[in-house]
């Protein structure tokens, strides 16, 4: 709009003859540029340029100029290496558009601008002799410097198929592998899932169906911790004791004493394949604090114990958190994580080792400093030794 307000009085109200020189590219830097010899390529424009008004950005300058020109009273010619493409007709109209298309590969930017400067000087002089009022406009189709536009676009994040938002359970796992003897199956197509909650025993079970294979995850919440539910119910002299177990030896203990067992319910992961049902037990204890998640970047494996065919279920790079109640999928968010890797990791051990070395060096240096003995300045090595009694 500011560009139109500046150009409109010059081109329309005063009704001059307007010649428009059109470069392919042009920028403000071209007007102030100099060659290696200190010469200004656009010397004629710099010498005849009076007052100036700087517009930091002009969009479609040629389109605005075309809107002022009458289609029936305008001429379009091109300047090529062989000269103008057509002769300029004296009565052709009030607008003359000259496209400067004479660039070649041998020309530098300074050479091209210098040649166009001489052409515009000669053309303006010829037109000024022919017409009373002449207005010359030097513009371009594109700027010399182009900056790519960047737009911030908000996109809905795609749902990660490695994240399972189930009823009361949030599970992230890179890969689930089911191994039967030497045959490995990837469980990656979850068809359906159901969860059951028991507020009395503070337990929950989640069934995940992967085609013909179904796995049941059992969790127990007790004393501020949750763990994969492994329980053995023993009856000793009419007293029922519930013992939470997480290792195979507890299962063996339950089965070794049949007379003491009234009921046995040791479950962590139950695998159902066709008519076969297998209970799988973890190699390491899987547990965490209440409202915390369990995170393990290594493999968490559950194995069968008895049977001619061995079964194992492996969770690779897993994070899991049970909530023990029905929740909306949008409310399922992992809490702080309890990692399966011990606190003393390799970097911590390395740091402690370096600190111990520095302490040893420091202690050795202090001991050496304390062992330094200086010679008494009053001692005469050839004379009698000076002795001072304690009584004196």
Per the model's pLDDT, the better-predicted residue between 273 and 240 turns out to be: 273
Please give the Cα distance from 11 to 214 (Å, whole number). 82
- Across 29-43, 68-82, 245-259, 346-360, the highest mean pLDDT is recorded for 346-360
> What pLDDT sits at residue 355?
96
| Minimum mean pLDDT range among 43-57, 102-116, 371-385 | 371-385
pTM for the model: 0.44
pLDDT over 90 (residue 362): yes
Please give the Cα distance from 375 to 366 (Å, whole number). 20
Q: Using one digit for the tens of pLDDT, what is the confidence trace for 256-288?
A: 444 333 434 445 677 777 677 888 888 888 888
Q: Which pairs count as long-range contacts for 110-119, CB under 8 Å and 24+ apart, including other chains? A: 110/33, 110/35, 110/39, 110/41, 111/41, 113/30, 113/33, 113/41, 113/42, 114/39, 114/41, 114/42, 114/43, 116/21, 116/23, 117/41, 117/42, 117/43, 117/44, 117/45, 118/44, 119/79
Task: Report the chain's mean pLDDT, rounded to a whole number.
Answer: 77
Looking at the chain, how many residues does it have?
Answer: 392
pLDDT over 80 (residue 297): yes
> What pLDDT sits at residue 298?
84
Strand partners, 140: 23
> What pLDDT sits at residue 330?
78
Say how many CA atoms lie within 13 Å of 242 toward its Cβ: 7
Is-contact 191 294, C-beta < 8 A? no
pLDDT over 50 (residue 100): yes
| Minimum mean pLDDT range among 269-273, 288-292, 293-297 | 269-273
pLDDT over 50 (residue 249): no
pLDDT over 50 (residue 237): no
Q: What are 174's two structure tokens?
A: 């890179």
Binned at pLDDT 50, 70 and 90, residue 2 comes out as low
Q: What are 90's two structure tokens?
A: 């004296």
Is-contact 175 304, C-beta < 8 A? no
Q: Using one digit for the tens of pLDDT, what is the confidence trace for 37-70?
A: 878 888 887 777 666 666 667 777 778 777 777 7
Q: Using one digit for the tens of pLDDT, what is the confidence trace for 182-234?
A: 888 888 888 888 888 888 888 888 888 888 888 888 888 888 888 875 444 33
- Where does the chain hold its CATH 2.40.160.110 domain(s)? 163-230+267-339
Average pLDDT of span 9-16: 71
Which CATH code for domain 163-230+267-339? Answer: 2.40.160.110
């Amino acid at each position: 709009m500011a560009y139109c307000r500046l150009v409109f009085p010059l081109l329309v109200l005063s009704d001059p003859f307007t010649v428009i020189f059109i470069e392919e590219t042009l920028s403000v830097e071209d007007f102030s540029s100099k060659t290696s010899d200190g010469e200004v390529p656009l010397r004629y424009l710099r010498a005849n340029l009076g007052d100036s008004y700087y517009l930091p950005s002009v969009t479609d300058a040629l389109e605005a100029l075309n809107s002022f020109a009458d289609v029936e009273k305008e001429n379009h010619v091109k300047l090529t290496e062989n000269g103008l493409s057509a002769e300029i007709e004296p009565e052709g109209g009030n607008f003359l558009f000259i496209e400067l298309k004479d660039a070649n590969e041998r020309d530098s930017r300074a050479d091209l601008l210098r040649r166009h400067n001489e052409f515009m000087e000669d053309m303006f002089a010829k037109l000024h002799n022919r017409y009373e009022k002449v207005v010359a406009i030097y513009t371009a189709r594109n700027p010399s410097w182009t900056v790519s536009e960047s737009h911030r676009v908000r996109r809905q994040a795609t749902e990660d198929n490695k994240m399972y938002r189930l009823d009361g359970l949030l599970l992230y796992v890179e890969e689930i592998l089911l191994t039967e003897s030497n045959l490995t199956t990837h469980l990656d197509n979850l068809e359906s899932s159901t969860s059951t909650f028991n507020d009395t025993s503070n337990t929950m079970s989640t069934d995940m169906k992967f085609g013909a294979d179904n796995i049941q995850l059992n969790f127990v919440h007790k004393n501020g911790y949750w763990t994969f539910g492994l329980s053995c119910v023993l009856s000793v002299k009419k007293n029922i004791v519930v013992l939470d177990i997480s290792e195979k030896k507890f299962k063996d203990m339950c089965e070794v004493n049949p007379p003491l067992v009234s009921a046995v319910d040791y479950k962590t992961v139950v695998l159902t394949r066709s008519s076969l049902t297998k209970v799988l037990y973890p190699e390491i204890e899987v547990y965490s604090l209440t409202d915390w998640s369990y995170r393990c970047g290594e493999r968490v494996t559950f194995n069968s114990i008895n049977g001619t065919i061995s079964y194992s279920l492996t969770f690779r790079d897993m994070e899991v958190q049970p909530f023990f109640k029905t929740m909306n999928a949008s409310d399922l968010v992992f809490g702080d994580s309890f990692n399966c890797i011990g606190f003393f990791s390799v970097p911590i051990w390395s740091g402690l080792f370096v600190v111990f070395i520095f302490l040893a060096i420091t202690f050795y240096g202090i001991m050496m400093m304390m062992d330094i003995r200086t010679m008494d300045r009053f001692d005469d090595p050839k004379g009698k030794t000076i002795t001072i009694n304690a009584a004196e």
